[in-house]
Amino acid sequence: MHVGIIMDGNGRWATKRGLPRLVGHKRGASRVKDIVKASTELGVTTLTLYAFSTENWKRAAHEVEGLMKLFRGYLQNNFVELNEKNIKVNFLGDPAPLAADLRVQMADLEALTKDNTLITLNVAINYGGRDDLVRATRTLAAKVQNGTLAVDDITEQVVSDHLDTAAQSDPDLIIRTAGELRISNFMVWQSAYSELAFIGNSWPEFTPEVYAEVIADYRSRTRQFGAVIPKGAEAVE
């Protein structure tokens, strides 16, 4: 089972409490470990967390700087533990605009954990679904141009194989916290038939107990994928 989470509401959680927005982001970062652990207990085999979008660069410079500092700290503090817990870490998105030391840490963590099997943790940083498609399209166009790929050979599977999530299953469920009712450019190709869950709790309030309730609700649904499912068919697993 693949779950994607749009971790929204950190700043608003802090603002409601009269705290700086970065305090909310820090609280949200501490929530990640709980949700990764809960995922392994709930039968989730791939977890994708939307950490920083291609649009988030538009935020105030001090907030962006603070987010990058938190991300750097998360990598440094959890580098060894993620590997010891048998977690495979992948990073989605275009790393080019990120600081050089971050790119090195990300590459090192991916290499260290590449053979781990408990759960795959995708961290989407400087990620946008449209940007993912643009980068895949450029690669496909280059292959057509150099003669290694024919236009007629481009299928949905070929496109999927050139996205950041190549070789992974599409998300079965996408969760967004903090009550917003949109996916905000998150995995726009991969989420074509994902089930959606919009949760009122902000990300710092998204406890393992709330998570378990969302997963239980998902498992009570019947996924149709555009077909007509006979009455009484089994719900999703």
Q: Which residues are catalytic?
A: 8, 56
Place of tokens 């996916």: 183
Fill in the DSSP letter of residue 149.
S
Cα–chain center distance at 181: 17
Three-state secondary-structure class, residue 62: helix
Fill in the DSSP letter of residue 233.
P
Using CA atoms, how far apart are residues 184 and 207, in angstroms rounded to an integer? 22
- CB-CB contact of 179 with 200 (8 Å): yes
Q: What are phi and psi of 34, to 5 degrees?
A: -60, -40
